[in-house]
Structure 1
């Protein structure tokens, strides 16, 4: 069996470039002190040898990991969009992201503890389900930023979307194009479900309309089940808890021979990748995942780098109108 190839070192690069090891170190750190011609010669030698700096050793020497731990729920595609945006923002700020999923058989506490085990300097938790006391306990170890949930106590940072504003925008849109029979399929026990239920009641009352709420949940199956419960008394429009629920509703309605939006308008929430699919074109309330992720990363970095007090940022969502909402059909 061939001997495993040895990883190139700074000294290997120095020999290949014909310079000192100290000069190679200067070039690799991007520090001043090397002429441009020398810098290019060192970088070319490093490329030819396949040299890569050992970031782990550097971090250990500095007693810093520059890691931001991010926990998310693997069953929620919208969380993946936030993760994508968080990577870009962390890189721009000189940090790395360590991911840990909450999944079937892997509770949120295990996901968080694994992030602490690898030396995360701060935690970003997407839609945490732990109590505020549990979150504050982790905040006693490292800065904690709760993303998409703001009822997290005084010691935890939060970045959230204004759920009441989102539902107000949804109801205003549907009522504004003429709908009077509007139903909300709620999110069950999901994070933000209570806030959106309460907002729907308030906003429907403001329009002088009956607030009809159907039990639901955050998945396509929940939306499909809700569509069946609406067969006997079909509304002209539905506000779903999220885009996944909206997709289930649409599937159920179409299976019953209904046309969207001719027979019933469906409005989602999140403006996820599902909503933007060419064959779906779902109208939705956008929470702007990239903006939320960038704000959460900024707060985490600020706390790591010296900010003393937790911050609480609430962003206002906006409406994206596509092809699943329209004025009600006149009879």
Structure 2
């Protein structure tokens, strides 16, 4: 018998194989099948082997989520993320690994132009996730505090100071400062910054650029244009910057995606990178090291961000289980400059 051949199936529409199907095919009772799948005493080794073999032939998969929910736990961590951000994908890989180490699984909810973050969070709540991990959340702090009243919330890449929930970020301010210091060491003075103030970390990166330029006596050389976190935003921003007289000799982009747009459009406009224009990104995403780009960037550690986020979520869950109070923990990880060939000494 196959999963599609039971008398309750709708023609052409496969259904989930149940324990009843396994019992019928194996010629044993359903309670005996349950004993085998729960791995408790009550069945001989021969019967166990027979039932498991039949289950494998039928493609039976035990509904672990339903079992856990009956016990009052889902063992699920809900993650809201933006699919268009490559760096979020790298964090997701780390979240899966970290959750698995603690016996948890991850449920994903995408935030897209046609699906807001609130809608994504509602989907995760319907899935009975035990904690929420939000990548680059754009929600106000008051909304996150409201959600955290019912389950743990961890913000990743966007810093907060709330006592009600936790966050883990990279030191965006220091990262931008390292970018400016690197370009100054290459004798650049007309250094522009492409801003994305509404993105996670945007305000701190802009402040890092401004503070370091001012400290170096280059306050009059500061030039900030809005570009956003996409390739298109970077292309539009560099078109505007290169139309200025004098044009900047170096640009710090909000992130690597923005930097890709800067490099591509600069070359379209006849500028050589790095001969005419040095470019720095942020994230050290996988695309940054591609040979045609070889982007100087500020490295964030996606796996350390992920593991820290999972640890913070489980810390809250443990505290809830023990009925103990915890305050917000906000971890800031260091940024590291990775120098590649998209930056060079300023042309004389």
| Length-normalised TM-score, structure 2 | 0.83
| Cα deviation 1:10-46 (Å, max 9, x = unaligned) | 994899699x65762454xxx8999999988876665
Paired residue total: 327
- Who is 2:98 aligned against? 89
Q: Is the alpha carbon distance of 1:12 and 1:225 closer, same or farther for their aligned partners in structure 2, counting shifts above 3 Å?
A: closer
Check if 1:320 corresponds to 2:338: yes
Check if 1:203 corresponds to 2:216: no
Q: Is the alpha carbon distance of 1:314 and 1:39 closer, same or farther for their aligned partners in structure 2, counting shifts above 3 Å?
A: farther
Written as runs of structure 1 = structure 2, the 5 A alignment for 1:129-140 is 129-140=138-149
- 2:135 maps to which of 126, 131, 134: 126
Alpha-carbon distance between aligned partners in 2 of 1:77 and 1:230, rounded to the nearest angstrom: 26
- 2:257 maps to which of 207, 229, 244: 244
Shift of 1:166: 0.6
- 1:294 maps to which of 281, 286, 307: 307
| Cα deviation 1:43-78 (Å, max 9, x = unaligned) | 666545544322023112211111111111233232
| Further displaced range: 186-195 or 44-53 | 44-53
8 Å CA contact 1:24–1:42 kept in 2: the answer is yes
Q: Is the alpha carbon distance of 1:201 and 1:49 closer, same or farther for their aligned partners in structure 2, counting shifts above 3 Å?
A: same
Alpha-carbon distance between aligned partners in 2 of 1:177 and 1:123, rounded to the nearest angstrom: 43
Check if 1:283 corresponds to 2:296: yes
8 Å CA contact 1:219–1:245 kept in 2: the answer is yes
Alpha-carbon distance between aligned partners in 2 of 1:49 and 1:229, rounded to the nearest angstrom: 62
- Who is 1:215 aligned against? 225
Alpha-carbon distance between aligned partners in 2 of 1:245 and 1:291, rounded to the nearest angstrom: 23
8 Å CA contact 2:19–2:33 kept in 1: the answer is no
Alpha-carbon distance between aligned partners in 2 of 1:122 and 1:26, rounded to the nearest angstrom: 27
Structure 2 residues not aligned, in runs of 5+: 10-14
8 Å CA contact 1:239–1:266 kept in 2: the answer is yes
3-state SS of paired residue (1:226)? helix
For the aligned residues, what is the CA RMSD? 2.9
Check if 1:306 corresponds to 2:347: no
| Cα deviation 1:194-252 (Å, max 9, x = unaligned) | 21111111111222323513222111122111112222322221111111111111122
